[in-house]
Amino acid sequence: MSSFPDEPRGAGVARLRVARSALLLAFLLLASVGGAPGAVRDWKRPARDWNHGPVRYLLTGEEEARFRALTTDEERARFIEDFWARRDDDPSTPANEFEIRFWKRVAEADRLFLDAPYPGWKTDRGKLYVLLGPADEIRTGSLVGARGREIPYTIWVYQEPRFEGMERGTEIRFVREGSGEFKLSDRLFLNRLERAQDVPGRLAFQATLAQKAPEPRQILDTIVAARPAMDPVACRTHYDFFKAADGSTSVVLTVGVRMNRNAPSQAPPSEAWKVYARLAGEKASYDLVEPDSFRTSKEGLQAEGFRLYQGRISVPPGLYTVYYGIREESTGKLLPISERLQVPDYAPERLSISGITLVSRLDRVGSPEPAQPFVIGRLLVIPKTDPLFKTGEDFGFYFQVYGPRLEPESGRVSLDLTCRFYRAAAIRKTGEVTFELMKTLLFENQPGQVHGYTFPLTGWPAGEYKLEVTVRDRGNDSTAAGETSFSVR
């Protein structure tokens, strides 16, 4: 984290150097936001519009979305406390120097910049003052306009960089507009290259970025470069695939984080971890980085010793590498993992079934919330992160059927389902496993395309098993099949 000292570091005149970093070329000036004059606000309070105050210069997109989703002052107060803690220059001291310095600059901006009908921190000069602190040198003068009108200007000179990527001897120009307010300007002594690259605007944007906490995409970039291995002890992953409405494949990613009972998190269980993911394919990558990209619920808090989080994204079929950044919110500890994933293709022109999801719990949901985790349609589906069942416990599975013929009058389908369970009996000399049939379930003339079933494994001996599901469409006499494996202990 860069610090931004408030005291000048020398004097001198230097020309503005054009930044060479390619990243700078993409940045544009954030628009200054005006406001109506009125009573002085206490922007430190956990009000609903706290994010509209001076902290707007620091908030990341993720933080903005998280704050707007909060509903109580208590939640907002906790968020604000964590917001400043992430930016503390020296967590070992009782005071948060960064926060103190920020609000000191806001107060000084309100006192110094009175040329606009709104608080000083909202002006162009106020924004740069809050982000960079006072300049090392200030030069003033005036220009003569086209009609002979005198146009005052002021130039702030920063001899020393205030953040990584800022040039030494940087000059920032402000010109007084007809309204009387000094505005950030590229009209003053800039050459054509500097104007084309919007150097003043990009500098303001960079100053904003320099004081923000790392974005989830930056975390994932680092993880992709490291290519970490899977850690089955600390976490589990599970994937389900369904046909998306646009013809792509909907991937449901379930991440189980092992619960440490000896060191319970101070955060609420649902907020103990943040999970980010990137599906990197040969042609494109897809990120799950929003605050609610991965969510949990009370049903997923204690699933076989793991806390489950679930996210969903639709991607084209193909081979991907999935990178995860799993961060413990209370400590900042990051667990990076990655693994390969083959995303299937559910062709629209033929009958097919989704992957078969083995579940630890399958229930009906009366009124599901939008994007509720572990809910598909009106069913609560808690997947098994490990395909292991105990003798006597309930066995559950779930799947969907795609492409059946619809009856013209009713719009319904007519499906015959056969579910066969096989137990591994022996291994031949060739290494091939032979199976014996254990159980068959028949469901005839089924009108739906979504199917979930449970039954007890009473009397089932320990061993390795295989489930085969065959679907026959009575409408056109076509069939489709799928299978999955599991163990009983």
The answer for residues whose C-beta is within 8 angstroms of residue 225's C-beta and 6 or more apart is none
Please give the Cα distance from 244 to 248 (Å, whole number): 5
Dihedral sign computed on CA atoms, order 103, 47, 373, 382:
positive
Structure tokens at 51: 């994010």
Please give the Cα distance from 113 to 99 (Å, whole number): 21
Whether the domain at 214-346 and the domain at 347-489 fall into the same CATH topology: yes
Structure tokens at 445: 């003339």
What is the pLDDT tens value at each position of the chain, 489 positions in all? 333 333 333 333 333 333 322 222 223 233 333 333 444 678 988 899 999 999 998 888 788 888 999 999 989 998 898 888 888 777 667 788 889 999 999 999 999 999 988 999 999 999 999 988 999 999 998 877 667 778 888 999 988 888 766 778 888 888 888 888 998 875 544 444 334 444 445 555 556 555 555 678 878 888 888 888 888 888 999 999 998 878 889 999 999 998 765 444 444 555 678 999 999 998 889 999 988 899 998 888 766 778 999 999 999 999 999 999 998 877 778 889 999 999 999 877 789 999 999 999 999 988 777 778 999 888 999 999 889 999 999 999 999 999 899 888 777 899 999 999 999 988 776 778 899 999 999 999 999 899 999 999 999 999 999 999 999 999 889 999 999 999 999
Of 101, 79, 80, the closest CA to residue 90 belongs to: 101
Cα angle 202, 207, 210; round to 5? 120
Residue type, 361: R
Q: Any bridge partners for residue 382, and if so which?
A: 361
Structure tokens at 329: 């919110």
CB of 221 closer than 8 Å to CB of 276: no
SS3 395: strand
CB of 358 closer than 8 Å to CB of 384: yes
Please give the Cα distance from 251 to 239 (Å, whole number): 7
Coarse DSSP helix, strand, coil percentages of the chain, rounded to the nearest 5 percent = 20, 35, 45
Give me the half-sphere count of Cα atoms (radius 13 Å) on the Cβ side of residue 353. 29
Q: Which pairing describes strands 415-427 and 463-473: parallel, antiparallel, or unpaired? A: antiparallel
Structure tokens at 293: 């990209």
Written out in words, the top-level CATH class of the domain with range 347-489 is mainly beta
Of 343, 351, 292, 293, the closest CA to residue 317 belongs to: 343
Q: What is the pLDDT of residue 163?
A: 74
Phi, psi of 439 (to 5 degrees): -160, 145
Tokens 């956990």 — which residue?
Answer: 46
Which pTM does this prediction carry?
A: 0.56
CB of 211 closer than 8 Å to CB of 218: no
Of 164, 187, 197, 166, the closest CA to residue 28 belongs to: 197
Please give the Cα distance from 159 to 17 (Å, whole number): 12
Q: What is the pLDDT of residue 365?
A: 87
- Residue 128 Cα to chain centre, angstroms: 29
Q: What is the pLDDT of residue 263?
A: 45
Q: What is the pLDDT of residue 40?
A: 61
For residue 54, what are the CA distances in angstroms to 7, 114, 400, 437? 21, 16, 50, 69
The answer for residues whose C-beta is within 8 angstroms of residue 240's C-beta and 6 or more apart is 251, 252, 254, 354, 355, 357, 383
CB of 167 closer than 8 Å to CB of 207: no
Extended beta strands in 190-259, E state: 235-243, 249-258
Of 292, 328, 327, 298, the closest CA to residue 313 belongs to: 292
Interval 383-432: pLDDT, tens: 998 899 999 999 999 999 998 998 887 778 999 999 999 999 887 767 78
Domain boundaries, the chain: 22-210, 214-346, 347-489
Please give the Cα distance from 352 to 242 (Å, whole number): 10
The structural architecture, per CATH, of the domain 214-346 is: Sandwich (2.60)
CB of 249 closer than 8 Å to CB of 314: yes
Please give the Cα distance from 442 to 420 (Å, whole number): 9
DSSP for 288-335? Answer: E-STTSSB--GGGSSBTTEEEEEEEEEE-SEEEEEEEEEEETTT--EE
Structure tokens at 344: 């299937």
The answer for residues whose C-beta is within 8 angstroms of residue 247's C-beta and 6 or more apart is 348
SS3 77: helix
The answer for residues whose C-beta is within 8 angstroms of residue 472's C-beta and 6 or more apart is 415, 416, 417, 418, 478, 479
